[in-house]
Amino acid sequence: MVENNQNPIDKASQQNLDEAVIKAPIKSKEKPVKRFFTSLLEFWAKHQTAISLAFLAIAILFPILFNQQYFLSIGVNVMLYATLSVSLNLITGFMGITSLSHAAFLGIGAYTAAILSTRLGANFPITFLAGAAMAGLFGLLLGLPSLRIKGRFLAIVTLGFGEIARMVELNWMSLTRGPQGISGIPKVSLFGWIMKTPAQKYYVILVILVLVVLAVAAIMNSRVGRAISAIRDDEVAAEAMGINVFGYKLMVFSISAAFAGLAGAFYAHYMSFIDPNAFSFAQSILILSVTIFGGMASIAGSIFGALTLLALPELLRFLIDYRLIIYGFVLVIMMVFQPNGLLGSFNLKHIKQQAMFRKSQERSES
Amino acid sequence: MAEKILWANNVSQHFGGLVAVDQVSMELNKGEIVGIIGPNGAGKTTFFNDITGMYDPTEGQVFYRGKDITGKKPYEVTELGITRTFQNIRLFDRMTVIENVMVGVHSRTKANIVDSLFRLKNHKETEKKAHEKALSVLELTGLADFRYNYATSLPYGSQRKLEIARALAAEPEILLLDEPGAGMNEMETSQLIAFIRELRDLGYTILIIEHDMRVIMNICDRIYVLDHGKLIAQGKPSEIQSNPDVIEAYLGKEH
Ligand SMILES: Nc1ncnc2c1ncn2[C@@H]1O[C@H](COP(=O)(O)OP(=O)(O)OP(=O)(O)O)[C@@H](O)[C@H]1O
Ligand SMILES: [Mg+2]
């Protein structure tokens, strides 16, 4: 009898214990370094908008402070890869589908813009819209037969698509001029105003980056975004909760490709020359590296990833002989200590909600 | 007069040579709690999968309110008003408790990507409804205090409750529960029994798979017994308890 009575009480206290564990503030038993990072993250989470605006202000002021071709070309490169990485993050980080065809969509956007502008004299906004639309269309066409395939098999299909796209670019001479590439692509002109100085080109890609970031953030903070996260975490449960998983994958894959195509259109106008080499498998791997290094499912991560992987090597140029070694070393260290990427292991929105909720609990207790 | 809302007609599910579900027919009336029991591997979960569109039945049909829903996609079945939970908990583990439940509201809201990109009225209405619905369901299940925790940080029993909360958020008419009491301690089981009764009082019709006889015998109006994919008995709890076939096939193995 006594034993029988004891059982439920034990279990009841066990449950209280479980609840206490969840309710306990995260800070209590952490080491000082970790506590420092926790409060840093909370600060960032709370002032996210202000901090983003501060970074934007720095990006806007950069050409004024460093008005040299060399620095500005680094800036353009960083932002181009940040745009590509954010767009890849939508499908790979947020949705969990590894794609190795991002360079192909970049290329499709670039060739579309190059052909339209050199042959038909088109320019902004037509070349940008057409580049994005064409890449989005090819994303749809690739996704239709392949997005029912899972995991690494899908990655291989996307890799294959990337190679096919490059082969077409190399061999469809009448359209792409093959290995010679297309030259003489005009500069971006905004309703007659030609963007010819390095600073002007810099601002064009800055605007594109900001638009893509805002779009991805808006998507992720919505019903569609929740569906995307649910698909990443558990496709079967997502479908059971009323989400048309295949339909969403198709849509998101196509949008992600369209953003890459938009970046491609900029690339064509910026470089004024394109050839198939720029859209190789190695390019896809570089974009994927930026995304993984910066952090899966983190927009800020993609931007920091691009800053680190594209600006840092330039700054290390004085160590030119050891540059690749240092670069490789950084990547290895990173993968060991922060395998989710620089900013991939936390979600600022969740941190903010948790901090605010904890505070409101404390207030109501006192 | 009982109103029949779900009807499975001679449903079979073959996996190669294995007959996991063998010509099973059953029906569910509005407002009932009906149990499905049977030994491990009897085909209970597979039968759920057949109803919810996860599998295409090899034979037979499933009707919901007179409409043939055989071969519909799982998301369509949910839209129609039948939602399930999973035996092996399937929560969205990188989402918070409240986000998990907000995903459940997906089929009852309609903001599309354009609405959200431009923050149109549809987007705002959807966000408001999703948040309110999720909070009310979390309050009903007693999980509201943990809403910003990650789903997988909850204790096991609460994770099972969260599965039910997420399903409720989809505003189903019929709730399919696959072993909701698995792994729960006695106190949690008692709470679960009370909670399922409360759900019935709220108007949900419930089909429940459960091994815990305390749950089944306490709450079910009727019970179906599966063994090796076949329906071997059906009836009121008292009838099932004394059915010799059931005792041999199911209870016999446990004692
Ligand atoms: N996708 C599948 N492919 C092949 N065999 C399957 C599949 N799903 C289920 N089975 C088999 O079908 C049979 C019934 O399985 P099911 O999961 O429906 O049983 P259950 O009654 O839910 O058992 P439990 O009480 O253990 O959950 C088992 O023999 C199982 O191995
Ligand atoms: Mg089962």
B170 at interface of A, judged by CB pairs closer than 8 A: yes
- Find the DSSP H helices in A95-172: 102-120, 126-146, 151-171
Sketch out chain B's domains with CATH numbers.
1-81+174-255 (3.40.50.300), 90-171 (3.40.50.300)
User: Considering CB atoms only, which of A229, A239, A354 is closest to B148?
Assistant: A354
Residues 6+ apart with CB under 8 A from B98: B131, B134, B135, B138, B147, B148
Tell me whether residue A328 is in a domain.
Answer: yes
Q: What one-letter code names the amino acid at B111?
A: A
CB B41 near ligand 1, within 6 Å: yes
ω into residue A125 within 30 of 0, thus cis? yes
Q: Write the DSSP string, chain B.
A: ---EEEEEEEEEEEETTEEEEEEEEEEEETT-EEEEE-STTSSHHHHHHHHTTSS--SEEEEEETTEE-TT--HHHHHHHTEEE--SS----TTSBHHHHHHHHGGGG----HHHHHTT-HHHHHHHHHHHHHHHHHHHHHT-GGGTTSBGGGS-HHHHHHHHHHHHHHT--SEEEEESTTTT--HHHHHHHHHHHHHHHHTT-EEEEE-S-HHHHHHH-SEEEEEETTEEEEEE-HHHHHH-HHHIIIIIHHH-
Distance in Å, alpha carbon of B115 to nearest chain A alpha carbon:
9
Let me know the angle formed at the C-alpha of A32 by A49 and A357, rounded to the nearest 5 degrees.
45
**Which of B72, B131, B78 shows the shortest CA–CA distance to B107?**
B78
Strand segments, DSSP code E, in chain A are: 182-183, 189-190, 193-194, 273-274
Residue A1 lies in a domain: no
pLDDT digits (tens, 9 = 90+) for A95-134: 999 999 999 999 999 999 999 999 998 888 999 999 999 9
Distances in whole angstroms, Cα of residue A91 to Cα of each of A161, A249, B114: 16, 8, 18
Q: How far is CA A146 from CA A138, A149, A153, A160, in A?
A: 12, 6, 9, 11
The verdict on residue A11 lying in a domain is no
| A126 in any annotated domain | yes
- As for how many domains chain A has, the answer is 1
Does A238 reside within a domain? yes
Residue type, A364: S
Residue B209 CA, ligand 2 centroid: distance in Å: 8
Encode chain B (255 residues) as per-residue pLDDT tens digits: 589 999 999 999 999 999 999 999 999 999 999 999 999 999 999 999 999 999 999 999 999 999 999 999 999 999 999 999 999 999 999 999 999 999 999 999 999 999 999 999 999 999 999 999 999 999 999 999 999 999 999 999 999 999 999 999 999 999 999 999 998 999 999 999 999 999 999 999 999 999 999 899 999 999 999 999 999 999 999 999 888 888 887 655 544
Residue A176 pLDDT class (50, 70, 90 cuts): confident
For residue B113, the Cα-to-chain-centroid distance in whole angstroms is 30
- Over range A72-89, report the average pLDDT: 97
pTM for the predicted model, two decimal places: 0.91
Q: Is residue A97 situated within a structural domain?
A: yes
For residue B173, which of B96, B92, B67 has the smallest C-alpha distance? B67
Phi-psi region of B14 (alpha: psi -120 to 50; beta: other; left: phi over 0): beta
- Between vectors from CA B65 to CA B61 and to CA B68, what angle results, nearest 5°? 30
What count of other Cβ atoms lies within 10 Å of the Cβ of residue A345? 14
Ligand in nearest proximity to the CA of B44: 1
Strands of the sheet with B174-178, listed across from one edge: B82-84, B174-178, B205-209, B33-37, B222-227, B230-235
pLDDT at A24: 45
Q: What is the CATH number for A150?
A: 1.10.3470
Best interface-test mutation with A: which of B88, B115, B116, B214 has the largest number of A CBs within 10 A?
B116
Q: Ligand 2 centre and the CA of B252: distance in Å?
A: 19
The verdict on residue A6 lying in a domain is no
- Closest atom, ligand 1, to C-alpha of B39: 25
pLDDT tens readout for residues A197-244 = 889 999 999 999 999 999 999 999 999 999 999 999 999 999 999 999
- Is B94 touching A (CB cutoff 8 A)? yes
Enter the tokens of residue A339. 């395998």
B15 alpha carbon – ligand 1 mean position (Å): 10
Cα(A61)–Cα(A19) distance, integer angstroms: 50
Residue at A9 is within a domain: no
Partner A, chain B 60-79, Cβ-Cβ below 8 Å: 73-75, 78-79
Domain ranges, residue A85: 20-365
The closest residue, in CA terms, to atom 7 on ligand 1 is: B15
Hey, is the C-beta of A18 within 8 angstroms of any chain B C-beta? yes
With an 8 Å Cβ cutoff, is B49 touching chain A? no
User: Among candidates A313, A314, A286, A330, which has minimal Cα distance to A85?
Assistant: A286
